[in-house]
Structure 1
């Protein structure tokens, strides 16, 4: 079956329209997404470094906003996840969050690293049952 240029153009328009319909505005998922990601970093376990690296690398493929996905992937090119320790990963995400806030001009929420530790670290359980490592 041959497609004319006109048919191909129509198909492309439909495809682009469908893709744009699956976009979800960041104001709907962003704030809760950041909370989730900060808790993920506080749950870091030394024995799962590879899983955390994969998680944060693949996150760029599923963020429900095309521009956010592209921006996140660009940030990862110069700032890959630092899984050398829990503290390093927490700081890495804090840096990423602040870069995104700067890019979106949301300076109201640039919490200090100390604020992040107080906010999310209060629920932290010390130690890891499966690999017996602490902090």
Structure 2
């Protein structure tokens, strides 16, 4: 299923990569418009004025996936490396799509998310490090750029402690929102 964003184009972050790529190729090869029989509009009331209603496209109902369809190469619970990688992906993506001008509720939610991770993250040393970092440098939630830069500094602090390379925070939006590899990511 393809989820369309407010601009009417497939939303990269809301649609799996394979489906999104197919939709982009189809759109490039056919500029005649969309097939209205395959479009389903969401009519649910939108609680957040910054979150657009979505449009979903589906060709036919598919059978429920089996476990191997989800993660054929990962049948085991995640280790700290896999969990960390996926957590960073989520956090950086959430920051990159955070509102440019957040409401007080948005700011509170982002602050709570970070605080909750510090309490509930399954890796105790990681959670402790996050709590210590936040106590010294609380999340900057006043804008998309501020939280994205804060998240990058946090990630670089973790990488420094692990002896890993630092990321150039001036490129954080390019990496998590716009894509560093336009040929591969569109």
Number of the residue aligned with 1:39: 93
Match of 1:121 among 177, 181, 184: 177
Structure 1 residues 36-115: aligned runs within 5 Å? 36-45=90-99, 46-47=102-103, 48-107=106-165, 110-115=166-171
Which of 80, 84, 89 is residue 26 of structure 1 equivalent to?
A: 80
Determine the C-alpha separation between the residues in 2 that align with 1:34 and 1:61. Answer: 16
TM-score (norm 1): 0.67
The answer as to whether partners of 1:57 and 1:81 remain within 8 angstroms in 2 is no
TM-score (norm 2): 0.50
Residues 25 and 65 in structure 1, CA contact (< 8 A), matched pair in contact too: no
RMSD: 1.8
Q: Extract unaligned runs of 5+ from structure 1.
A: 1-23, 124-135
C-alpha distance in 1, partners of 2:79/2:121? 11
More helix by share: 1
Distance 2:79 2:129 in 1: 15
Unaligned residue ranges in structure 2 (runs of 5+): 1-77, 180-186
Q: Report the Cα offset of residue 81 of structure 1.
A: 0.5
Instruction: Name which structure has the greater RCO, CA cutoff 8 Å, separation 6+.
Output: 1
* Contact 2:97/2:177 (8 A) holds in 1: no
Retained in 2: the 8 A contact 1:81–1:89? yes
Q: 1:25 & 1:80 partners in 2: Cα distance?
A: 27
Deviations 1:66-99 (A, max 9, x none): 1111111111110111011111100000000000
- Listed one character per residue, the Cα deviations across residues 33-77 of structure 1 (whole Å, up to 9, x for unaligned) are 111100010121202111111111111112111111111111111
Distance in 2, matches of 1:96 and 1:119, equals 16
Residue pair 2:95, 2:144 contacting (<8 A) in 1 also: yes
SS, match of residue 96 in structure 1: helix
